[in-house]
Amino acid sequence: MLKQYLQFKLSQKLSPQQIQLMKLIQLPTQAFEQRLKQELEENPALEHGKDNENDGFEDAYSDHDLGDNEQINAEDINVDDYLSDDEIPAYRLHANNYSADDDSKTIPYASGTSFTQILIDQLNTFRLEDQNYEIAKFLIGSIDDSGYIRRQLLDLTDDLAFTQNIYTDIQTIEKVLKVVQQLDPPGVGARDLQECLLIQLQRKTQTQHTEYAIKIIENAFEQFSKKHYQKLLKKFNISELQLKDAILEIERLNPKPGSSFSNNFRSTEHVVPDFTIKIVDGELELTLNGRNAPELHVSKSYNEMLLGYKASKEKSKAQKEAVLFIKQKLDAAKWFIDAIRQRQQTLLLTMSAIMHYQKAYFLSGDEEQLRPMILKDIADEVEMDVSTISRVANSKYVDTPYGTKLIKEFFSESMTNDQGEEVSTREIKSILKTVIAEEDKKKPLTDEKLAKILKEKGYPIARRTVAKYREQLDFPVARLRKQI
């Protein structure tokens, strides 16, 4: 049975412009420059640099926001809205808190041969039949950045047939794989960690230590990975000293042989600070990286096109279509420039609030001076949405007198110590890190014991909270921190 009923619903929808603005705010400096470059390429009405004859663009223009199905006519466009003489001085259209030093936008990158090509160059020193050579090249192409072949050999057999027109079997691939595993760095071409470690051990000069290490990895890898040392001592009937030497031999191996090798030939990644904080005469001074404040203006030639359209008495269909295109590009250019200004203001306003909230830290550099601070604290301060603050904090860096920091690192939750004082969870993590570093590695502290120690130091937190902080600090459980 069908029923009709009324339902009241309150919803908020963001316009495409608002969504784009949020995306712009989220971008760090280098990504923002790429987005700016893309917009300049796609919109000929937008130009970069100073326009001496027409600095900036006019604030007073009619918005012609269109719905998906709304139609406009060329006659409806008020050309004067785009040709107003009410010019805005250039100093109002770009940030004035950066120097000429910030104008350098290019970063030199080191070039080098790819990891795959280096392996192929080594492969060329082996004598292989034509088909086996092609299989070896295919296997090298399947090696990831860590140096592993993660896919099953059966899948690779199918891929060779479909993509290379090479029909072979698993036995042949395994034979060729043994050749690939002879390449440098040792361990490359392994299918899992166990095989990777074995390859490296077998390539080393054989001593009693390496022999025991090979036996452990080959026959008791699970017990080794779980650090069941007593089981290993009993299984191989060796002394504690011999086990310790064998484990030391294993610890010297590289679990990711491809990473360290390929990183030497990979373009260096640079972190570009979005903000700079300096201490001047005992006071904090905040500046926005000048690369976030480009000089943009609307193309003069597009304005001249509109002038020509306005002056012509007879307007053809082609002219009307052209003016509609110009109008869309001008609207997009003016909106983009305005969005960049809003982005600059949002970034500065948010970072300024964070700087003043954590003033004690920025003046001293002492992490214990960091106040508990959550996104809502700053959102309330600047009267913005929490999501906006999150976009600013998550992907941007600030250059401080104490190094370049990720902004989100300044945020932390709070808890009350036994004195009734609000302390940052960052402070608790720092103490926890120190306690774990000073523990007896032969008998590592369990989470329960860590919680007891923190309680004695004045931080009454539960065992599960200690476990959460320990994981965030990248410390394994007590059993895996054990050393012989």
- State residue 311's pLDDT score: 67
Residue 465 has pLDDT above 50, yes or no: yes
In a domain, 315, yes or no: no
404 in Cβ contact with 273 (< 8 Å):
yes
388, β-bridge pairs: none
If you search the block for the tokens 């919680």, which residue do you land on? 451
- State residue 421's pLDDT score: 67
Amino acid type, 409: E
- State residue 98's pLDDT score: 46
130 vs 82, residue with greater confidence? 130
Element (H, E) at 276: strand 275-280
Secondary structure (DSSP) of 168-210? --HHHHHHHHHHHTTSSSTTTTBSSHHHHHHHHHHHSPP-HHH
Q: What is the CATH number of the domain that holds 426?
A: 1.10.10.60
- State residue 476's pLDDT score: 87
Q: What is the pLDDT of residues 164-211, one digit of tens each?
A: 889 999 999 999 999 999 998 899 999 999 999 999 999 998 899 999
240 in Cβ contact with 484 (< 8 Å):
yes
Range of the domain at 465: 414-481
Cβ within 8 Å of residue 166, ≥6 positions away: 131, 134, 135, 138, 160
In a domain, 447, yes or no: yes
In a domain, 101, yes or no: no
Query: pLDDT confidence of 323, banded at 50, 70, 90?
Result: confident
pTM of the model as a whole: 0.53
Query: pLDDT confidence of 284, banded at 50, 70, 90?
Result: very high
- Count of domains observed in the chain: 2
Last residue of a domain, one of 197, 228, 263: 263
- Could you tell me if residue 365 is left (phi over 0), alpha (psi between -120 and 50 degrees) or otherwise beta? left
If you search the block for the tokens 């030093």, which residue do you land on? 101
Distance between CA atoms of residues 470 and 449, nearest Å: 13
In a domain, 48, yes or no: no
Distance between CA atoms of residues 327 and 81, nearest Å: 11
Any idea which of 124-133, 319-328, 442-451 has the lowest mean pLDDT? 319-328
Residue 448 has pLDDT above 50, yes or no: yes
Last residue of a domain, one of 263, 295, 318: 263
- State residue 82's pLDDT score: 46
Per-residue CA distances from 334 to 41, 61, 64, 451 (Å): 15, 10, 12, 58
Residue 398 has pLDDT above 50, yes or no: yes
- State residue 397's pLDDT score: 92
Most confident of the following: 49-53, 171-175, 319-323: 171-175
In a domain, 26, yes or no: no
Distance between CA atoms of residues 107 and 140, nearest Å: 31
Amino acid type, 423: V
Average pLDDT over residues 466-471: 88
298, β-bridge pairs: 46
Calculate what percentage of the chain has a pLDDT beyond 70.
Answer: 78
Residue 439 has pLDDT above 60, yes or no: yes
In a domain, 137, yes or no: yes
In a domain, 337, yes or no: no
In a domain, 71, yes or no: no
Distance between CA atoms of residues 193 and 224, nearest Å: 12
Query: pLDDT confidence of 14, banded at 50, 70, 90?
Result: low
Last residue of a domain, one of 263, 289, 324: 263
Distance between CA atoms of residues 442 and 353, nearest Å: 47
- State residue 43's pLDDT score: 83
Using DSSP, how many helices (H) and how many strands (E) does the chain show?
Answer: 20, 8
Residue 269 has pLDDT above 80, yes or no: no
Residue 355 has pLDDT above 90, yes or no: yes
